[in-house]
Amino acid sequence: MPQIELYDTTLRDGAQTEGISYSVQDKLRITEQLDALGVHTIEGGWPGSNPKDAEFFRKARRLTLRSSALAAFGSTRRASVSAAKDPNLRALLAAETPVVTLFGKSWDLHVRDVLKTSLEENLRLIEESVAWLKRRGRRVVYDAEHFFDGYRDDPDYALRTLQAAVDGGADTLALCDTNGGSLPSQVTETTRAVQQRFSTPLGIHAHNDSDLAAANSVAAVQAGCRQVQGTVNGYGERCGNANLVSLIAILKLKLGIDCLPDAKLKELTEVSRFVAEVSNMAHDAHQPFVGETAFAHKGGVHVNAVMKNPRTYEHLEPGLVGNQRRILVSELSGRSSLVFKAKGLALDLTKETPQAKRLLKLLQQLEHRGYHFEAAEGSLELLLKRQLKQFKPFFTLGGFRIIIEKRDRKLTSEATIKVHVNKATEQTAAEGDGPVNALDNAIRKALLKFYPALSEMHLTDFKVRVLDEKAATAARVRVLIQSQDAHDSWGTIGVSENIIEASWQALVDSIEYKLLKDQAKRA
């Protein structure tokens, strides 16, 4: 067994997240990604609880896993039947996985109030279930459910449940903070007490209800645990589980534990975002290590220091985990931020040039009016290039008109638009689900004959925010549009007292940025 075993339970615990529902194919894809990353054990699900997980294990047998062992999860036998006749244990065996993770009750409260059986009978359930699976050649991880709560209430009985698992032949004892209410100091003290009693390798399974799952997992490792359980991005029921992505980075880069090769560590960000996409969840931009803003710098003082030495405001090099540094330009930025951004766009700008001071003042004025360029880097790039006379418009507007009509209780919108491209003029009309959608459809329709690549582009998000609510219907609004093609995603922005005008600004920027990007690729 590796020095620290990485045990992923995204496909079981993570699937209990509100809003997540994995198909069998989703689970197979995530399994392959985790195997490619180098996770040691992947818990695929509970085959005795539902047909989907049973199907997953049947199909998973066809996978060629190079780094990972699959684990099936389930409970100890019922009090009313023998291990040999218990349907849950038989389903675990039928999954044909090399590892079986079995959970049992460690807290006398659960034994009495949930299982409704005696404390002695619970010990027999644990020992006999583990032994039955061990005799059939499985490696057994025993998940001691609610262990830390149970230990605080009755340490002697909690330890006796672990002894029952050891007597049955358990290979690993995973101590579970199932309610997520323990503190790192409590985890440390309890883990050390268990380690003094047992020679069987220990694991940690922490939930995040007190926002301490990662901290508790690190404390457990430092106290002697050799298996760390968690989920990608911290997915899980209620407040989630320990975030395995963060734990891998902490183990490797903070504690010096070689749980993954360096090359694999650089795939952390990609895997985190892949699992978020398959889970149909927005990737948390503020997630440590792999979030989009994890290494983003906005304040002028910070940016100035980072440009001189990144260690001044970064706890590690972002490339180590596959992430990258981002410099945000806003009203809080200084000229250093602006120059850094311009350099990334191959624009000739230094702190000493008059243009830098003028551009910074313009950005501060625009942000005061309601622009938010850190969320719209497409519009920021266009603004800089326009101000530095390094941008030629791809089209000009001749005018547009929008008609909104209610027919048969249905509201319809139609936009008519005229655009000029070089010396040619195109006028067309299109309908849409609303005025902005109609305008979007019309301008694309008008430009498509000149720029066929626009067919690859589509809007993925449209947000409107009222900036000064007290002005009521005359309030200024900010429109943020997210666009995407086959290769990239970008944000653009518009601000106006008129929502149509604000939307038009963001729409034009989204199209011009796409055309500018394609032009640069051809150059």
CATH code for the domain of 452: 3.30.160.270
Q: Residue 485 domain-assigned?
A: yes
| Residue ending a domain, choose from 206, 235, 260 | 260
pTM: 0.73
| Statement to judge: residues 130 and 9 lie in one domain | yes
| Statement to judge: residues 347 and 403 lie in one domain | no
| pLDDT tens digits for range 107-141 | 999 999 998 999 999 999 999 999 999 999 999 99
Beta bridge partners of 318: none
Write down the H helix ranges in 279-424: 300-308, 335-344, 354-369, 377-387
Q: Which domain holds residue 95?
A: 5-260
| Statement to judge: residues 96 and 223 lie in one domain | yes
Buried b / exposed e across 365-403, counting CB within 10 Å, b at 16+? ebbeebbbbbbbbbbbbbbbbeeeeeeeebbeeeebebe
| Statement to judge: residues 138 and 241 lie in one domain | yes
| Statement to judge: residues 26 and 166 lie in one domain | yes
Please report, in tens digits, the pLDDT of each residue of the chain (523 residues total): 458 999 999 999 999 999 999 999 999 999 999 999 999 999 999 997 889 999 999 999 999 999 999 999 999 999 889 999 999 999 999 999 999 999 999 999 999 999 899 999 999 999 999 999 999 999 999 999 999 999 999 999 999 999 999 999 999 999 999 999 999 999 999 999 999 999 999 999 999 999 999 999 999 999 999 999 999 999 999 999 999 999 999 999 999 998 999 899 999 999 998 999 889 888 898 999 999 889 988 776 777 788 788 889 899 999 999 998 877 665 445 566 666 666 766 677 776 777 777 877 787 788 778 887 767 888 888 888 888 888 889 999 999 999 998 877 788 899 999 999 998 999 999 998 889 899 999 999 999 999 999 999 888 888 888 877 665 556 788 898 988 888 888 889 999 989 999 999 999 999 999 998 888 887 6
Amino acid type, 208: N
Q: Residue 268 domain-assigned?
A: no
| Statement to judge: residues 92 and 144 lie in one domain | yes
CA-based torsion, 360, 363, 369, 375: positive or negative:
negative
Q: Residue 280 domain-assigned?
A: no
| Statement to judge: residues 360 and 490 lie in one domain | no
| Statement to judge: residues 379 and 403 lie in one domain | no
CA-based torsion, 437, 443, 449, 450: positive or negative:
negative
| Statement to judge: residues 202 and 91 lie in one domain | yes
| Statement to judge: residues 112 and 153 lie in one domain | yes
To the nearest 10 degrees (0 to 180), the angle between helices 24-37 and 268-278 is: 180
Q: How many CB atoms lie within 10 A of CB 358?
A: 11
| Statement to judge: residues 109 and 60 lie in one domain | yes
Q: Residue 157 domain-assigned?
A: yes
Task: State how far the Cα of 501 lies from the Cα of 287, in Å rounded to an integer.
Answer: 35
Domain total in the chain: 3
Structure tokens at 475: 């309030």
Structure tokens at 5: 């075993």
Check residue 176 and give its pLDDT. 98
Q: By the 8 A CB rule, do 174 and 142 touch? A: yes
Q: By the 8 A CB rule, do 394 and 512 touch? A: yes
Q: Counting Cβ atoms within 10 Å, is residue 489 exposed (0-12), middle (13-18) or buried (19+)?
A: exposed
Q: Residue 284 domain-assigned?
A: no
Check residue 460 and give its pLDDT. 85
Check residue 331 and give its pLDDT. 47
Q: By the 8 A CB rule, do 477 and 499 touch? A: yes
| Residue ending a domain, choose from 208, 243, 260 | 260
Task: State how far the Cα of 372 lies from the Cα of 322, in Å rounded to an integer.
Answer: 27
Beta bridge partners of 41: 7, 69
Q: Residue 107 domain-assigned?
A: yes
Check residue 112 and give its pLDDT. 93
Question: How far, CA to CA in Å, does 470 sit from each of 369, 474, 477, 490?
Answer: 15, 9, 12, 31
CATH of the domain at 112: 3.20.20.70
| Statement to judge: residues 381 and 402 lie in one domain | no
- Furthest C-alpha separation in the chain: 90
**Radius of gyration over every alpha carbon of the chain, rounded to an integer in angstroms:** 29
Task: State how far the Cα of 254 lies from the Cα of 449, in Å rounded to an integer.
Answer: 55
Check residue 1 and give its pLDDT. 44
Helix (H) / strand (E) element for 69: namely strand 69-75
Check residue 328 and give its pLDDT. 66
Task: State how far the Cα of 72 lies from the Cα of 43, in Å rounded to an integer.
Answer: 6
Task: State how far the Cα of 328 lies from the Cα of 292, in Å rounded to an integer.
Answer: 12
Q: Residue 44 domain-assigned?
A: yes
| Residue ending a domain, choose from 355, 387, 419 | 387
Q: Residue 272 domain-assigned?
A: no
Check residue 245 and give its pLDDT. 98
Check residue 335 and give its pLDDT. 60
